Amino acid sequence: MTGSVLIFDSGVGGLSVAAALRRYYPRARLSYACDNAWLPYGLRPDALLTQRIVDVCRAAVAVCRPAALVVACNTASTLALEPLRRTLTIPVIGTVPAIKPAAALSHTRHLGLLATTATVGRPYTQRLIERFAADCRVTRIAADALVTEAEAWLGGATPSPARVNAALTPLWQAASADTPLDTVVLGCTHFPLLTPWLATLSPVPLAWVDSGDAIARRVGQLVAPLAGAGVNGQAFATAPQPALARALLSHGFQRPQHLSVAAC
C-alpha cells in the first residue's frame, strides 16, 4: 500500500507523532486534521464523543484520501478505534500509553503515568498496566493543564513553570519517594511537546517515554513505501484559530482549512 498518512488529534498534540513519523520517513507525505472545536476531548460524554470522532475522521479521510489514518490521541483511540476500523477501508493506527517500553526501562520498578483525566481512569489503561507492568508500582497523575500549556506554547506563548509545577507536584513527590519512580509515561500526545520543560523542572533525572516511535514503526509496517515528494499534505481544523495555523505552518503543513462536519 502506498500513499500519504493522515494524522488526527483533538488539537496540536499529534504534531509530536508527526515529528516521529518525519524522523523515520523524512520524505513521507503527511496530512493533519484536528478537532480543536471540541478540545479538550476528556470532558465530553463518551457516546457523543465517539460519534464525533468518527464523523470528523471520515470527513478528513474523504478529503485527503490517505493510505492510513493515525489517531494520535489516547482518548480518541480508546473510544473510537473499533468504530473507525469498521467504517473505514484503510488501516487505522491508534495511540495507547507506552506502558510496555516504560516497564522495560525502569530499574526501580516504579513508573509514573502522566495523562489526561480520561486516560488515567479508563479500564483500558488498567489492562495495559496489568499486562505489561504487573510487577511495577504505577503512580497515575491526571495533568489536563499540560494540554493547555502545550497548545499555548505552539501558539507562541511560553509554558508557565508555576502552572506546570502545580500540575506535576504529585509526580515530583513520587520521584523523591523511598522507592522513587525513574520512568514517566507521557500518556497524551500533547505532553512530548513539553519534554524540555518537564526535564528542566524535574528535581531528579527521569526517563520520559511516549508512543511516537511505536506508532511510526507500525505505520511503516502497513504503508509501504513511505516515500513521497518531501512535502506535507494539507491541514484541516474544525475551528481554525491563528495560533493553530501558526503551529501547523511551522511544522510544514499548508494553511489550515475549515473541515465541515456534523455538529461543528
Measured at the alpha carbon of residue 28, what is the angle toward residues 24 and 31, in degrees to the nearest 5? 115
Please give the biggest Cα pair distance in the chain.
54
**188 in catalytic set:** yes
The conformation of residue 27, written as its DSSP 8-state character, comes to: T
DSSP-derived 3-state class of residue 183: strand
Shortest CA distance to 201 belongs to which of 159, 161, 171? 161
Q: Which three cell numbers stand for residue 204?
A: 531528579
**136 in catalytic set:** no
- Name the active-site residue from 57, 73, 136, 264: 73
List, as own/partner pairs, every contact residues 167-173 make where C-beta atoms lie below 8 angstroms and the sequence separation is at least 24, other chains included: 167/143, 168/114, 168/141, 168/143, 168/198, 168/201, 170/139, 170/141, 171/112, 171/114, 171/139, 171/141, 171/143, 172/202, 172/203
Q: Please list the active-site residues.
A: 73, 188
